[in-house]
Structure 1
Amino acid sequence: MKKKVLVTGAGGQLGKTIEELYLKNNFGLDFVFANKAKLDISNKDNLHSYFKDFNFDYCINCAAYTNVEQAEKTPKLAYKINTEGVENLSIICEKNNVILIHISTDYVFDGEKEAAYTVNDKTNPINAYGKSKLEGENHIKNTLTKYFIVRTSWLYSKKYGKNFYKTILEKAKTEKQLTITTEQKGCPTDTVNLSKFIFKLIQEDNQAYGVIHFCDDKVMTWYDFAEQILIENNLSNNIYLVKVNNYRTFARRPKSSVLKNSHINVN
């Protein structure tokens, strides 16, 4: 019998990437995709009725509040999804014996470490978004035994959602000069690569439960990433990039949130 997999937050960039790959090759799995209109993880009744209708083996939680700036101004919105919603999902997964694969973030760290962060490093988020995601992680750990918390870094899709990759391409259409910060360091991660990793976790029935770090392996600043995007799209001659050290944002952001990938048995 095929494993049945629920994807929450299926309308976002990662959810849409997973769906695209699934439609191209279903990997011997049976997926159900639920966007927020279909399933709101902050609504307990909605969750209970949804899980009652299906017999899921896995739940991939892509539902998240990811607007870092807005989370600082209206933290209740971030906590409603990233903390309370994840708590609800943990409880329903435990009740129905569903393995949860939850997508988390490099922003659970403060960015003060010079080397890459490992799964054993102490967390210390410095903004509301990071704090809400960490509290969500803690609910999972306190509720479930069968779970994967997959922390990733600077996630982007070339096709879906709003992200840095697509923003740079949009700006390249109308602007001749872009000012990009060198202040932060991370590992830009393509949703395609993260999706393939998640598929393999399920296909191979991996049971190395716990926290995992997964990101693409190139360490960059936002300036480096912008430069790569322009080169990749043959636009480097059209746009002049200007480096700046200071980057004013409402939310504090970790200066270095490079993650060290976990070595788990996924081929």
Structure 2
Amino acid sequence: MASIDLNCDMGESFGPWTMGNDSALLDYVTSANVACGFHAGDPQTMHHLVAAAKAGAVAVGAHPGLPDLQGFGRREMVITPQEAYSLTVYQVGALAGFTRALGIRLHHVKTHGALYQMTARNVALADAIASAVRDVDAELIVYVANPNMAQAAQRAGLRVAFEVYADRTYQDDGTLTPRHMPNAMIEDVGEAIAQVRRMLHDGVVRSLNGNDVPVVADTVCIHGDQPGALAFAQQLRAGLEADGITIRAPGSACMTDCM
């Protein structure tokens, strides 16, 4: 029987400003990528979400990003590998403090937004981030969707879960369609289920140009900040389970061979 993880980018509220419906979404996802205060989130939000995830038996991961609250971490910055290393240690270590305080282990790390896209083009940044994750906790799983980050994690001796997206479209090179372009987001849940089904069973995703692009699917991402995210998550999970697909977080070993 096929299995897949449903992960969600969450914990993106800040002070009195609330984004998404995290508490309800935790009923439908199996791992939560928690913003660590740089691109979104704050200590109280982090604490609350880790506690809620623990109560729901949802795996908790750190979601480090660039220090850009106004741009939500989606604007690129010029940083050195050393800076990438330090900001990753800082953010992963902060969330690990909350998981430790609440009596659970941090499960994974997934870089956010522009920082993640930068690793797809810059091997030195990918290596710096992988080294930072290893130095905080070598047992952490790295969620990846580009070869540079996957190979960097492998060189660092880290376990990998390959990520695909239910609510984003793809380009011919396997990258996500940039958000500023038309049709970057998939809002129709039936279309999303069909896309995930093909990625899981056939190992391909149909690009916007109509070409089949190879992918490996261990974990499927949805975004908690999207309009209708809760209904989307509910229907996506129900549709996959109706296909006989088991929904569960990556376990203690890499679910597939690393790139």
Alignment TM-score, normalising by the size of structure 2: 0.38
Alignment TM-score, normalising by the size of structure 1: 0.37
CA radius of gyration, larger in? 1
